[in-house]
A and B are shown apart, each in its own frame.
Chain A
Amino acid sequence: MTLAEFSRLLGVRPKWVLNTLRALNADGRYTTEMARHLTIARAVHAATAVPMAESLAFARRALRAPWAASSRVTVQLADDDDAALTVDVYRLLSSFHVRQAELRESFAPRARGRPRTRRIGALRAAEDWGLDLSLIRDNLGKTAAERIRQLDAMGQFSRGVRRADRRALST
């Protein structure tokens, strides 16, 4: 996982990740497991101002607790501490998984550098790229309803092919 992806997974700026991991002596550990722990540690740190190292230790204990059975878990702040904290682990993990889904499904690195200024027209650029303009011209002759129905039919076909593939693989 890259720094950009890791930051996105946590919902923070890359600078926060760099500073926090350095303070925790965990430079460059951009793993899903670390992100899951940091999600809880960050929430604890924000709510209580407990230092990140202790918050991370707390997060490890909270994730070991049987949180699946009940959404909120109460965990001691430190092993020998009288104080305990109740954390909605299920909710925090839900937010984490929402970001994980978004990261896997729609995140992609941004193109670097300045956007290119095109010296040729849009149609020429499309042809140079290899796009079939006749398909677009054909589409423009249809109504919006026809285009969406065509897309639906393509989707149905593609799902049918995938189903057939799965059946073939399982036999």
Chain B
Amino acid sequence: MFEAMLAALVARGIRFVLVGGVAATVHGSARFTNDLDLCYDAAPDNVERLVTLLSEWKAYLRGVEPELPFVLDARTFRTTPILTLTSSMGAIDLLDQVPGVGDYRAAFAKSEPVQIGDVEFRTLTLEALIASKQAVRRKKDLEHLIELEAILALRREGRR
């Protein structure tokens, strides 16, 4: 599911940085997550590509009753900092800003490349991921933060 979603996003030339739970998995987290969190470039051409792909995936709002008024277009992206969607491919969250990091440009600057088969994309660095969890400070993220900091410590231990 995630591999196929990431491959499709890359194939369409969509500019994004992987953040959230799947990014944590890339860095070694053992926690389960069922949604793909992305920080996207809010430039009009990129948003148009995202809208086209999400329409093909029949994206709809996650967690609300079906068939409520919902317009998936560039204007919705412009006026919404976070879109939480479900789709035929799986759940996807789209952010124009990462808390504690900034917009796509800032996220890109704090990202690193990941290769899965022929697909290459960018993921937030572990340090930036920790900074974003610290900035959000939700109670439910506390355990996640503890795990991410442990991964960082284990990595540093491994380098010594």
Contact = CB atoms under 8 A, between A and B. Distances in A.
If over half of A's interface residues share one DSSP class (helix, strand or loop), that class is named, otherwise mixed; here it is helix
Q: Which of A102, A104, A129, A145 gathers the greatest number of chain B CB atoms within 10 Å?
A: A102
Contacts of B152: 122
A123 B76 contact: no
Interface in B124-160: 134, 136-143, 146-147, 149-155, 157-158
Nearest to A129: B146
A131 B147 contact: yes
A65 interface: no
Contacts of B64: 97, 100-101, 104
Interface residues of A, number: 48
A156 interface: yes
Contacts of B147: 126, 131, 136
Interface of B: 1-3, 6, 22, 25-26, 28-30, 32-34, 61-64, 68-71, 75-76, 79-80, 82-85, 90, 93, 114-117, 123, 134, 136-143, 146-147, 149-155, 157-158
The 9 closest A-B pairs by CB, nearest first: A126-B150, A104-B63, A101-B61, A135-B30, A122-B153, A122-B149, A93-B69, A108-B138, A105-B84
